[in-house]
């Protein structure tokens, strides 16, 4: 299904290039630009009015954040030092839906905006924030561990999925997918469907008949890479025998715990990227699996420029409509981040384990969603603003690691 056209020697060269890339140093010339930010209304909405709009401009080299809220008719004028900026907008919206006035939250995000010259104009598309009541990704342990000899240990990664509602949810049929695109490598993909769908390199589905796996409010379930006691092979690892599910591939050198149900591989096998180059979503599948596999392929092209030459590339994968997605987490590396690979309505931030590429200190760390509050019966309510930068603690101690 997936066709790679890049020659092997070029693949190796590109991997080396990715490992050596870093942000340019900021010269901070002191020059300023009069920037006009123009907000573009969410598509297909009429009679739109905004309130409580706020925007932040984060200069990517210095980390300096400049906030503002002085919008006039969807436009904001501000003087900024020349540089490369990450722009984020939040606010509230009212619009007409067939004669009914609807209130909702709205957000927008744009990365790597180069601000230079005397004046500049930037347009930013706004999206309605999703407010679905379903599972959220509580934790991703993607880095793995190291042995006492300093070798990388495989198989002890996991996902922790949390019921953030006040009612029972069923895990049956929940999809988990890893992104096709990398947050550390931005290309001009054609067609670019990111505003409508998520391009997936691997998709797995929780088994069950519909009500086989109930998860109570405030409870969670674990999807393990391999649901075994990894401490027997690496004392610094984790015992994952109590995981709820595990990823398993029959035709690969994989370990199967017969006491733990296997995830169903809908497309490709889930090989979790251990540096955080890729992102993850969970979603509900409203059509049959056969219909999905027949109707939701995604073919894209781009030109890879390397060594002064342009190489045409093409891939065929699957896409998940954004409307099906109930939660998303963008992962990246601090020194290598280029863009988020989801629509900002799903997640307009990102989190990490490792400040530089191949950071040796990332092992044994996870990203964990912050606790917003605790109910009277001791159940956690997790923070969920659709912004992983704000919602997650990076480089945290894995919750399952003693």
Are 302 and 187 within 8 A, CB to CB?
yes
Are 200 and 319 within 8 A, CB to CB?
yes
Is the pLDDT at 43 greater than 80? The verdict is no
Q: Any residues with CB less than 8 A from the CB of 326 and at least 6 apart, and which?
A: 130, 132, 134, 135, 136, 282, 283, 284
pLDDT of amino acid 334:
92
Are 65 and 86 within 8 A, CB to CB?
no
pLDDT of amino acid 29:
58
Is the pLDDT at 147 greater than 70? The verdict is yes
pLDDT of amino acid 132:
56
User: Distance from CA of residue 77 to its chain's centroid?
Assistant: 31
Structure tokens at 199: 């391009």
Is the pLDDT at 103 greater than 90? The verdict is no
Average pLDDT over every residue of 205-230: 97
Is the pLDDT at 214 greater than 60? The verdict is yes
Average pLDDT over every residue of 138-154: 96
Determine the Cα angle at 341 with ends 278 and 397, to 5°.
40
Dihedral of the alpha carbons of 193, 183, 85, 369, in degrees to the nearest 10: 100
- The phi, psi pair for 107, rounded to 5°, reads -150, 165
Confidence of residue 216 (pLDDT cuts 50, 70, 90): very high
Are 125 and 94 within 8 A, CB to CB?
no
Share of the chain above pLDDT 70, in %: 92
Q: Any residues with CB less than 8 A from the CB of 361 and at least 6 apart, and which?
A: 354
Of 96-110, 111-125, 175-189, 305-319, the one with minimum mean pLDDT is 96-110
Is the pLDDT at 6 greater than 80? The verdict is no
Determine the Cα angle at 44 with ends 43 and 47, to 5°.
105
DSSP label at residue 210: S
- The phi, psi pair for 89, rounded to 5°, reads -125, 140
Domains of the chain: 32-128 (2.60.40), 135-396 (no CATH)
Average pLDDT over every residue of 198-227: 97
Is the pLDDT at 11 greater than 70? The verdict is no
The C-alpha atoms of residue 379 and residue 219 are separated, in whole angstroms, by 8
pLDDT of amino acid 369:
97
For residue 335, CA distances in Å to 66, 188, 277, 393 come to 21, 21, 12, 18
The C-alpha atoms of residue 341 and residue 391 are separated, in whole angstroms, by 17
Is the pLDDT at 389 greater than 60? The verdict is yes
Q: Any residues with CB less than 8 A from the CB of 189 and at least 6 apart, and which?
A: 181, 300, 301, 302
Name which residue leads in pLDDT, 2 or 361.
Answer: 361
pLDDT of amino acid 273:
95
pLDDT of amino acid 130:
60
Q: Any residues with CB less than 8 A from the CB of 355 and at least 6 apart, and which?
A: 333, 334, 335
Q: What is the DSSP string of 265-311?
A: EEES-----SSS-S-EEEEE--S-HHHHHHH-EEEEEEEEEETTEEE
Q: Is 294 left (phi over 0), alpha (psi -120 to 50) or beta?
A: alpha
For residue range 276-314, list pLDDT tens digits in order.
Answer: 999 999 999 999 999 999 999 999 999 999 888 999 999
- The phi, psi pair for 165, rounded to 5°, reads -110, -175
For residue range 15-38, list pLDDT tens digits in order.
Answer: 444 444 444 444 455 799 999 999
Structure tokens at 335: 């020194």
Is the pLDDT at 100 greater than 90? The verdict is no
Q: What is the DSSP string of 18-32?
A: HHH--PPPP-----E
Are 321 and 194 within 8 A, CB to CB?
no
Pick from 387, 331, 388: nearest CA to 354: 331
Q: Which residues of 120-129 are buried (b: 16+ CB within 10 A; e: fewer)?
A: bebebbbbbb
Confidence of residue 3 (pLDDT cuts 50, 70, 90): very low
SS3 217: coil
Are 349 and 391 within 8 A, CB to CB?
yes
For residue range 48-77, list pLDDT tens digits in order.
Answer: 888 888 899 999 889 899 998 888 878 999
């Amino acid at each position: 299904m997936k066709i790679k056209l890049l020659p092997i020697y070029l693949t190796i060269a590109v991997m080396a290039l990715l490992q050596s890339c870093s942000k340019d140093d900021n010269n901070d010339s002191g020059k300023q630009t009069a920037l006009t930010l123009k907000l573009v209304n969410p598509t297909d909405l009429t009679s739109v009015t905004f309130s409580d709009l706020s925007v932040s401009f984060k200069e990517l080299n210095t980390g300096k954040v400049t906030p503002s809220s002085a919008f006039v008719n969807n436009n904001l004028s501000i003087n900024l030092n020349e540089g490369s900026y990450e722009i984020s907008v939040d606010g509230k919206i009212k619009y007409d839906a067939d004669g009914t006035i609807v209130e909702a939250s709205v957000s927008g995000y744009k990365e790597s905006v180069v601000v230079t010259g005397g004046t500049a104009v930037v347009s930013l598309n706004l999206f309605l924030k999703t407010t679905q009541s379903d599972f959220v990704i509580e934790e991703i342990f993607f880095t793995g561990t190291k042995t006492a000899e300093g070798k990388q240990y495989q198989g002890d990664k996991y996902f922790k999925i949390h019921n953030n509602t006040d009612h029972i949810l069923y895990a049956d049929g929940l999809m988990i997918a890893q992104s096709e695109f990398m947050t550390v490598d931005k290309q001009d993909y054609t067609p670019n469907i990111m505003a409508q769908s998520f391009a997936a390199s691997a998709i797995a589905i929780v088994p069950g008949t519909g009500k086989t796996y109930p998860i109570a409010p405030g409870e969670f379930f674990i999807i393990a890479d391999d649901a075994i006691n990894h401490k027997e092979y690496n004392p610094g690892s984790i015992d994952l025998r109590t995981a709820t599910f595990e990823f398993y591939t029959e035709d690969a050198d994989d370990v199967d715990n017969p006491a733990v149900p296997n995830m169903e591989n809908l497309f490709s096998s889930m090989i979790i990227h251990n540096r955080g180059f890729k992102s993850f979503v969970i979603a509900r599948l409203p059509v049959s699996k056969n219909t999905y596999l027949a109707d939701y392929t995604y073919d894209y092209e781009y030109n890879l420029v390397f060594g002064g030459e342009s190489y045409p590339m093409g891939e065929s994968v699957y896409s998940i409509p954004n409307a099906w997605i109930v939660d998303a987490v963008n992962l990246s590396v601090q020194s290598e981040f280029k863009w988020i690979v989801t629509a900002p309505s799903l997640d307009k931030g990102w989190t990490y384990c490792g400040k530089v590429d191949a950071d040796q200190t990332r092992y044994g760390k996870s990203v964990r969603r912050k606790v917003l509050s605790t109910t009277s019966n001791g159940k956690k309510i997790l923070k969920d603003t659709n912004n992983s930068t704000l919602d997650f603690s990076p480089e945290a101690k894995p919750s399952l690691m003693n």
